[in-house]
């Protein structure tokens, strides 16, 4: 029961927080109308955008797309860069902690978050194949799966450490 609860709550929290941060970024960028029209026009792109942040590796979220992007941004775009950085870091950490707290054990918490990361990494790949917009080759498939594995190991360790 612990694994299912950890998986369900972790998955729900991760996707919901990605949606919230995507809305905040669209509001700050002034493209909220394009965001909502994109939901109705391109639903596969919207669904993919809820899962795509897991494709960013933890080091890139902290350094390349995080601190360096905030420091390199002009004064007007610094808040937007900061929110993007927070949006890449907070959802997986918070979802991993919640999965750890509800997992019932370290193994269940780690396994639940690892499965969340693998599923979230494969959803954009599968949706890109269905829509015909993704150039599918072996390197693309390996990149998507490998980023899910790396994020699963990193945030799965956080989930295991937060397990009671």
What's the whole-model pTM score? 0.88
- 105 φ, ψ to 5°? -170, 165
Q: What is the mean pLDDT of residues 40-51?
A: 85
pLDDT tens per residue, range 90-110: 999 999 999 999 988 999 999
C-alpha distance across the termini of the chain, in Å: 15
Are 160 and 99 in contact by the 8 Å Cβ rule? The answer is no
CA 161/CA 86 separation, integer angstroms: 22
């Amino acid at each position: 029961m612990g694994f299912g609860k950890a998986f369900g709550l972790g998955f729900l929290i991760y996707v919901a927080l990605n949606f919230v941060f995507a809305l905040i970024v669209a509001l700050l960028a002034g493209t909220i109308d394009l965001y909502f029209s994109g939901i109705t026009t391109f639903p596969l792109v919207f669904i993919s955008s809820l899962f795509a942040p897991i494709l960013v590796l933890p080091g890139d979220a902290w350094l390349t797309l995080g601190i360096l992007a905030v420091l390199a941004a002009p004064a007007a775009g610094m808040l937007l860069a900061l929110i993007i950085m927070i949006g890449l870091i907070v959802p997986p950490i918070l979802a991993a902690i919640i999965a750890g707290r509800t997992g019932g054990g370290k193994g269940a918490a780690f396994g639940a978050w690892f499965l969340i990361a693998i599923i979230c990494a494969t959803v954009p790949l599968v949706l890109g194949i269905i829509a015909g917009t993704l150039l599918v080759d072996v390197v693309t498939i390996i990149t998507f799966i490998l980023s899910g594995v790396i994020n699963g190991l990193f945030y799965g360790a956080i989930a295991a450490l937060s397990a009671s």
